[in-house]
Amino acid sequence: MSRHVDTPRVTAPDIRARKGGEPIVCLTAYTAPVARLLDPHCDLLLVGDSVGMVLHGLPNTVGVTLDMMIMHGQAVMRGADRALVVVDMPFGSFEASGGQAFVNATRVLKETGAQAIKMEASGPDIGETIKFLVDRGIPVMGHVGLRPQAVNVDGKFRAKGRTREERVKVLAEARAADEAGAFAIVVEGVDETLAPEITAAVKAPTIGIGASAKCDGQILVTDDLLGLFEWTPKFVRRYADLKGVIDKAAAAYAADVRARRFPAAAETYVLGGKPQRRRVAGDGKRG
């Protein structure tokens, strides 16, 4: 039985229609509970392949698999009712041909229920692959500039747009993604003056990360914004210090356990005798 939802979900054409309008709010999500918390505030939730680094402790995104993306996509779809959910295509799942991209993207959409995919497509074939999918009914979000999946070619995560050659290449890739029908384009890690140039050159809304406030929308990795890491890239603004909160909570719990202060009477069952002082929701089960 399907869940009743009052608010219709944002669609890829809705996002595309926001070009030049109110900024589009996007964040990454990888789990159902976090998606549920972010959903009321966001237009778009990206199940980014950053999940490999953020949740799985990988050194970069190259090792992320299609199965991992599908599992996290399913979780996010269980948590989000309103925002458009976009699932990233991992490295190796789309580069060989339009056919390969189509087979894997349809798997993502069918198995997760998400409505769109994102591809860090690059090079001369970028437009062809995107068009192949769009023509066959798959909304595609492009991704230009710093492409984390290219880390082994670039040598490190490095912002783009230092040289004229680099600027021309990034701009050309954005144009190709646009002409191929991408409904939005992530512009990551580029010179601050290049992002508005791309934004002006394409019909699709640009979603900046480490780019410029002049993009049509912004995205951040949620765990960065929440302050879960010691180190974050320069472009991140921390809106919370969850690392500190978790550290304090874990230290307080450890101290209570060691001093036998936890569990106390209110946190234990007294069965068959006096009535319990506090009902534990769901008889202690989660769900």
- Cα separation, 228 vs 223, in Å, equals 6
Q: Which residue stretch of 5-13, 48-56, 132-140, 267-275 sits at the interface with ligand KIV (rule: CB under 6 A)?
A: 48-56
Span from 45-53, 126-134, 231-239, 255-263 in contact with ligand KIV (CB under 6 A): 45-53
Closest to ligand KIV by CB, 48 vs 139, is 48
From the candidates 22, 95, 128, 188, give the one annotated as an active-site residue: 188
Least CB distance to ligand KIV at residue 261 (A)? 40
Q: Which of residues 77-106 bind ligand KIV (CB under 6 A)?
A: 88
Distance in angstroms (rounded) separating the CA atoms of residues 150 and 148:
5
By the rule CB under 6 A, 50 interacts with ligand KIV: yes
Number of Cβ atoms within 10 Å of the Cβ of 111: 17
Q: Is residue 114 a contact residue for ligand KIV (CB under 6 A)?
A: no
Q: Which of 68, 86, 209, 228 binds ligand KIV (CB under 6 A)?
A: 209
Catalytic site includes residue 188:
yes
How far apart (Å, rounded) are the C-alpha atoms in residues 109 and 86?
9
Q: Where are the alpha helices (DSSP H) in 136-241?
A: 151-154, 164-179, 194-201, 222-225
Instruction: Give counts: helices (H), strands (E), the chain.
Output: 11, 8
Residues in contact with 56: Cβ distance below 8 Å, sequence separation at least 6, in sequence order: 64, 68
Closest CA to 52 of 69, 39, 32: 69
**Contact characters 4-43, ligand KIV, x per CB under 6 A:** ------------------------x---------------
170 near ligand KIV, rule: CB under 6 A:
no
Closest CB to ligand KIV among residues 173, 188? 188
Is residue 219 a contact point for ligand KIV (CB under 6 A)? yes
Q: How far is the CB of 99 from ligand KIV (least distance, A)?
A: 24
Evaluate whether 164 touches 193 at the Cβ level (below 8 Å): no
Question: CA dist 156 to 60, 95, 120, 143, 230, Å?
Answer: 10, 21, 16, 18, 19
User: Cβ closer to ligand KIV: 30 or 132?
Assistant: 30
Nearer to ligand KIV, 39 or 88 (CB): 88
The answer to whether 223 contacts ligand KIV (rule: CB under 6 A) is no
Contact present, 199 and 186 (Cβ < 8 Å) = no
Under 8 Å between Cβ of 122 and 147: yes
Q: Which is nearer to ligand KIV, 191 or 235 (CB)?
A: 235
Pick the closer one to ligand KIV by CB: 171 or 215: 215
Total of chain residues touching ligand KIV, rule CB under 6 A: 11
Of 12, 18, 24, 49, which one interacts with ligand KIV (CB under 6 A)?
Answer: 49
Written as six digits, the tokens of 182 are 């991408």
* CA atoms of 280 and 283, how far apart (whole Å): 5
Q: Which two tokens mark 11?
A: 């669609």
Active-site positions read 188
Enumerate binding residues for ligand KIV (CB under 6 A).
28, 46, 48-50, 88, 186, 188, 209, 219, 221
